[in-house]
């Protein structure tokens, strides 16, 4: 994220959000390994919603699989405020559809290792349905 939790959404600005996040995660992982950590113990999360605009978030979601060049990817998008910018809502309770859409999109890409979700049952049912469609052409 840019700034602190209190200021991160004030005016997030990147020259190239994807490249800057990619380099940050890659550099951080390299520092961890240089300090004695094991690369195979790390997964990366591009930090959807943390100091990013809607366009930044959408770019990172579209390109999430590319982070797998660094390490397995964790994507957490459950009930993020970005969904209220796509379709107006009354808060997190109205953001399940957006959360499920992105979970499905990420799962279909095949390049995201873990989906961090709040609505486990609904996400599982959505993904089970998608897998059934894939199995039965």
Q: One of 23, 39, 62, 116 is an active-site residue; which one?
A: 116
Q: What is the C-alpha to C-alpha distance for residues 75 and 135, in angstroms, rounded to an integer?
A: 24
The CATH T-level fold of domain 17-135 is: TIM Barrel (3.20.20)
Which percentage of the chain shows pLDDT scores above 70? Answer: 91
pTM (2 decimals)? 0.86
pLDDT (tens digit, 9 = 90+) per residue, 12-55?
678 899 999 999 999 999 999 999 999 999 999 999 988 899 99
Q: One of 52, 79, 80, 95 is an active-site residue; which one?
A: 80
Strand ranges (DSSP E) for the chain?
A: 74-76, 114-116
Q: What is the C-alpha to C-alpha distance for residues 117 and 129, in angstroms, rounded to an integer?
A: 17
pLDDT at 83: 95
Is 116 a known active-site residue? yes
pLDDT at 135: 87
The full set of domain ranges for the chain reads 17-135
Q: Give the confidence band of 10 by pLDDT, cuts at 50, 70, 90.
A: low
Coil, helix or strand for 51?
Answer: coil
User: Could you tell me which of 37, 55, 54, 61 has the C-alpha nearest to residue 109?
Assistant: 61
31, 33, 42, 44 from 37: Cα distances, Å? 9, 4, 9, 14
């Amino acid at each position: 994220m840019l700034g602190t939790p209190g200021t991160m959404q004030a005016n997030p600005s990147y020259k190239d959000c994807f490249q800057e996040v990619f380099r940050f995660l890659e550099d951080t992982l390299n520092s961890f390994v240089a300090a004695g950590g094991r690369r195979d113990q790390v997964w990366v999360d591009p930090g959807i919603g943390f100091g990013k605009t809607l366009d930044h978030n959408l770019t990172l979601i579209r390109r999430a699989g590319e982070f797998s060049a660094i390490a397995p990817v964790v994507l957490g998008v459950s009930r993020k405020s970005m969904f209220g910018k796509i379709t107006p809502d009354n808060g997190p309770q109205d953001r399940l559809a957006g959360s499920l859409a992105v979970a499905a999109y990420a799962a279909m890409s095949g390049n995201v290792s873990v989906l961090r979700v709040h609505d486990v049952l609904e996400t599982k049912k959505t993904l089970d349905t998608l897998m059934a469609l894939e199995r039965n052409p």
